[in-house]
C-alpha cells in the first residue's frame, strides 16, 4: 500500500515539474525523499533479516506470514513424520549377515548405508544368542569395534549373555539363516566357554 502511494506521488510530482525548473527545496520533496529512504531502509532490514536466518527459520517465517495474511492453522502445515526413518531403521531393513556380489548389484543409498555399516564390522568371530538352544535355534551376529577391543567373543565367551573367560573353545558352525526371503548358509567361528559350548552342541550329543 505504502509503496503504491509513494509511486503515484512520485509520478504526480514529476508531472508538475517543468523541464527547465530546478527541483524545489520545499517540504514536499523532502518528505518524499524521506519516505523513499525509509522504504529502502525497511527493505534492506528485511533482506538482512531473511539472509541471517537458516533455511528452516526462513521456512517457518514464510509459513507464519502466510497464515497471517491468508488465515488458517499451523496444524495444516505440520508434516507427517509417519514415514520418517532413522539411519538405524534403514540399516536394519537392509542389513545382511554376509554380502555377496549379487547383493551389491544395483545399490541404492539405503543399501549403500547398510553395506558401509557391514564393512565396519569385524567378521572373524561371532557373538551368539544361545537363549533358545533347547529349540535348536541360534542367532549370530558379527562383533563391532567395542567388542573387538574388549575381547568379547575372543578372549571372553562369545555368548551374548556370558562373560566367562576360562576354558574357551573355538567352534566352527554352519549357520543357516533366512534373510530378505532367501535361505543362506555361512560358516562362522565362535569362541565359547564349556557351559555355553554344551548349549551349542545340545542337539548333537
Ligand atoms: Zn559362556
What gap in Å lies between CA 159 and CA 138, rounded to an integer? 10
Q: What is the pLDDT of residues 35-57, one digit of tens each?
A: 888 899 999 998 998 889 888 89
Cα of 173 from ligand 1 centre, angstroms: 16
Cα 88 to ligand 1 centre (Å): 29
Instruction: Encode pLDDT of 48-104 as tens digits.
Output: 988 898 888 998 888 888 888 888 887 777 777 778 888 899 999 999 999 988 899
Task: Using the mean position of ligand 1's atoms as its centre, give its distance from the Cα of residue 139 in Å.
Answer: 15
Q: How close is the Cα of 177 to the center of ligand 1, in Å?
A: 23
CA dihedral angle for residue 186, residue 187, residue 190, residue 196, rounded to 10 degrees: 80
- The sheet that has 139-143: what strands, in order across it? 139-143, 122-129, 182-192, 169-179
Distance 140 CA to ligand 1 centre (A): 14
Cβ-contact 40, 2 below 8 angstroms: no
Averaged pLDDT score across all residues of the chain:
86
Q: Express each pLDDT in 156-199 by its tens digit.
A: 999 999 999 999 999 999 999 999 899 999 999 999 999 999 99
What's phi and psi for 133, nearest 5 deg?
A: -60, -30
DSSP 80: P
Amino acid at each position: 500500500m505504502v509503496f503504491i502511494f509513494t509511486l503515484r506521488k512520485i509520478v504526480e510530482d514529476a508531472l508538475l515539474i517543468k523541464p527547465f525548473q530546478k527541483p524545489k527545496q520545499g517540504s514536499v520533496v523532502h518528505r518524499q525523499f524521506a519516505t523513499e529512504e525509509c522504504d529502502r531502509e525497511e527493505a534492506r532490514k528485511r533482506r538482512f533479516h531473511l539472509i541471517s536466518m537458516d533455511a528452516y527459520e526462513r521456512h517457518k517465517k514464510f509459513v507464519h506470514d502466510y497464515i497471517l495474511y491468508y488465515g488458517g492453522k499451523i496444524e495444516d502445515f505440520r508434516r507427517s513424520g509417519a514415514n520418517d526413518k532413522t539411519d538405524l531403521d534403514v540399516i536394519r531393513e537392509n542389513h545382511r549377515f554376509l554380502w555377496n556380489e549379487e547383493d551389491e548389484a544395483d545399490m541404492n543409498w539405503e543399501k549403500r548405508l547398510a553395506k558401509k555399516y557391514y564393512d565396519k564390522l569385524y567378521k572373524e568371530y561371532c557373538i551368539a544368542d544361545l537363549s533358545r538352544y533347547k529349540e535348536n535355534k541360534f542367532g549370530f551376529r558379527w562383533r563391532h569395534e567395542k567388542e573387538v577391543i574388549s575381547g568379547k567373543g575372543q578372549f571372553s565367551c562369545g555368548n551374548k549373555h556370558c562373560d566367562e573367560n576360562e576354558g574357551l573353545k573355538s567352534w566352527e558352525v554352519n549357520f543357516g539363516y533366512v534373510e530378505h526371503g532367501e535361505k543362506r548358509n555361512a560358516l562362522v567361528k565362535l569362541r565359547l566357554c564349556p557351559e555355553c559350548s554344551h548349549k551349542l552342541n545340545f542337539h548333537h550329543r
